[in-house]
């Protein structure tokens, strides 16, 4: 990240509210996406989730979120105004991780006796059928992300317009309890006039952001080591094919053992790539990297070559810039980068 100071206000562009609901903390940020410029993290705040005796975890999470929204509505709006000339928020993206959401892989298939042409409408129909089945008699909201398409059993990156008798979709499913979404939406609406915030599962967001940040890594593992619940995601041929969420202890030995167990579960179904992107903040990233190297996990790869562990504790200046009022936070930086993938300036 680079640190920026601004004088005259540039063109306003798009201002986004970013909320990260993690396993042990809630964080928020105000980010500016100016025309022809690197996205800028203007202000951010992270609050721990502290569960009081005899209260449900959701209550503690909502309390932390309310504190974050209060800070974003005052200090965050002021920081955004100093940069762009306006403290108004245009859009919001909310990333949710376990235990507030769960991620699984799901396969959905379309079979016909006669060949059919695979179109975008075909894709939408399959996804709608999948969503209907998954949400039947359920109080959960489902986010679906297609990570692979096979036609007649063969994987293809260009399915549209092709003929097939059988189409198989590999879908990443994020289950989010509808009550959690409504509570988050209600708290955000109290401070910001945003009617349709975007909700996304944390593993999906980090996969998309890191795939864009590391375009030459076709095969990799993403190990998000933030908090007491870690997430291991497997990317093969640039597609997310497996997600393993698991609890991990605060002690280094317990943490390494938990990661080892998750790697073994993934290795039971897939060959492991040699690149591991280790997502953590500050000194935790190199410390965790050293612990994994010392654990000699290379035997899982059935090779003499140990895996290449790349600590990802900050984004480069070419991806995310920061004002002097913002603090380094890798998860929020990845959110800024993810939202930039679809940002359009005024």
Predicted confidence (pLDDT) per residue in 209-248, tens digit:
999 889 899 999 999 886 667 889 999 888 888 888 887 7
Domain ranges of the chain: 2-99+179-202+315-340, 102-176, 204-312
* 8 A C-beta contact, residue 179 and residue 139: yes
* 8 A C-beta contact, residue 79 and residue 325: yes
* 8 A C-beta contact, residue 68 and residue 27: yes
The two structure tokens encoding residue 87: 């403290």
Question: Does 204-312 match 2-99+179-202+315-340 at the fold level?
Answer: yes
Minimal CA–CA distance to 95: which of 326, 330, 336, 335? 335
* Predicted TM-score (pTM) of this structure: 0.82
Q: Which CATH class is domain 2-99+179-202+315-340?
A: alpha beta
Over residues 257-270, mean pLDDT: 90
The CATH-assigned architecture of domain 204-312 is: 2-Layer Sandwich (3.30)
* Confidence bin at 344 (pLDDT 50/70/90): very low
pLDDT higher than 90, residue 71:
yes
What φ, ψ does residue 80 adopt, rounded to 5°?
A: -65, -40
No. of H helices and E strands in the chain? 8, 16
List Cβ neighbours of 249 (8 Å cut-off, separation of 6 or more): 228, 255, 258
- Other residues' Cβ atoms within 10 Å of the Cβ of residue 44: 29
- Of the options 3.40.50.620, 3.30.1490.110, 3.90.1660.10, 1.10.150.110, the CATH number for the domain spanning 102-176: 3.30.1490.110
The two structure tokens encoding residue 317: 């200046």
């Amino acid at each position: 990240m680079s640190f920026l100071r601004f004088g005259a206000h540039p063109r306003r562009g798009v201002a986004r509210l970013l909320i990260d609901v993690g396993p042990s903390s809630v964080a928020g940020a105000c980010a500016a996406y100016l025309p022809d410029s690197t996205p800028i993290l203007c202000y951010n705040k992270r609050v721990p989730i502290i569960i009081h005796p005899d209260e449900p975890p959701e209550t503690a999470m909502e309390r932390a979120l309310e504190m974050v929204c209060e800070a974003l509505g005052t200090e965050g709006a002021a920081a955004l105004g100093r940069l762009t000339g306006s403290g108004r928020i245009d859009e919001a993206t909310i990333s949710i991780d376990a235990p507030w959401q769960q991620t699984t892989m799901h396969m959905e298939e379309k079979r016909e006796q006669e060949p059919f042409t695979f179109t975008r409408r075909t894709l939408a129909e399959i996804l709608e059928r999948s969503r209907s089945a998954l949400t039947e008699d359920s109080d959960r909201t489902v986010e679906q992300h297609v990570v692979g398409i096979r036609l007649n059993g063969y994987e293809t990156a260009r399915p549209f317009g092709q003929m097939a008798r059988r189409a198989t979709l590999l879908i990443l499913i994020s289950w989010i309890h509808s009550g959690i979404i409504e509570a988050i939406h209600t708290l955000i609406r109290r401070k910001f006039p945003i009617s349709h915030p975007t909700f996304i599962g944390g593993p999906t967001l980090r996969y998309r952001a890191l795939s864009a940040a590391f375009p030459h890594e076709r095969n990799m593992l993403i190990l998000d080591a933030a908090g007491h619940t870690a997430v291991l995601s497997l990317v093969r041929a640039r597609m997310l094919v497996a997600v393993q969420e698991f609890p991990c202890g605060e002690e280094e030995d317990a943490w390494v053992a938990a990661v080892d167990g998750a790697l073994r579960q993934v290795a039971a179904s897939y060959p492991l790539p040699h690149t591991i992107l280790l997502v953590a903040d500050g000194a935790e990233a190199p410390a965790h990297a050293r612990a994994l190297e010392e654990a000699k996990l290379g035997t899982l790869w059935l090779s003499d070559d140990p895996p290449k562990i790349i600590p990802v504790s900050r984004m480069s200046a070419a991806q995310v810039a920061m004002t002097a009022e913002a603090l380094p936070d890798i998860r929020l930086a990845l959110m800024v980068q993810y939202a930039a993938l679809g940002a359009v300036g005024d």
